[in-house]
Amino acid sequence: MRKLGLRCATTAAVFAAMVVGGGVAQAAPVAVPVYQIPATAFAVSGLVVPGPVFATVTARSLAPTTTEFAAPASPSACATTAGRALVKISYLNVNTGASGSVTVKPCEYFIDPTPTSVVANTGSGRIVLTTQVVGSPFAPAAGQPSIPGIGTFHAP
């Protein structure tokens, strides 16, 4: 009988916490694996050494219909001429037909007002995306010449 009373008290406490606290907490954003061939940009370091920089897209599911896109670059890539470039991500949901395009900056400390991540209403299903390294208004030739990339992921 004592165990039954303890169970009832525990259940009542959980219910009270949900009612008083405003309900069940929202799930944290979930990283979604993106299978891709990243866009490739041209970069020159401070030692005037040319080389490639890869714009790899990351995706996080925030809700059943929204996805947060980003293309973070490493500090070494941000120290090159490509650190002033932007990444344009165009997406298509092959299940619903929802499509759009967003632009993010890969380097957090670059002065361009473009955000480092953007939330898009992609819908749920298979998403196909293309990526392109583009110059910014502050450095139109940054990362050029470049080769576009392509990728896919499943948005929950």
pLDDT tier for residue 64 given thresholds of 50, 70 and 90: confident
**pLDDT per residue over 100-142, tens digit each?**
999 999 999 998 899 999 999 999 999 999 999 999 998 999 9
Is pLDDT of 2 > 70?
A: no
Closest to 92 measured CA to CA, from 130, 59, 57: 130
User: Structure tokens of 9?
Assistant: 């008290």
Supply the pLDDT for residue 27. Answer: 57
Which sequence spans correspond to the domains of the chain?
27-155
Q: For residues 54, 131, 88 and 42, what is the CA-based torsion angle, rounded to 10 degrees?
A: 30
Q: Which fold has domain 27-155?
A: Immunoglobulin-like (2.60.40)
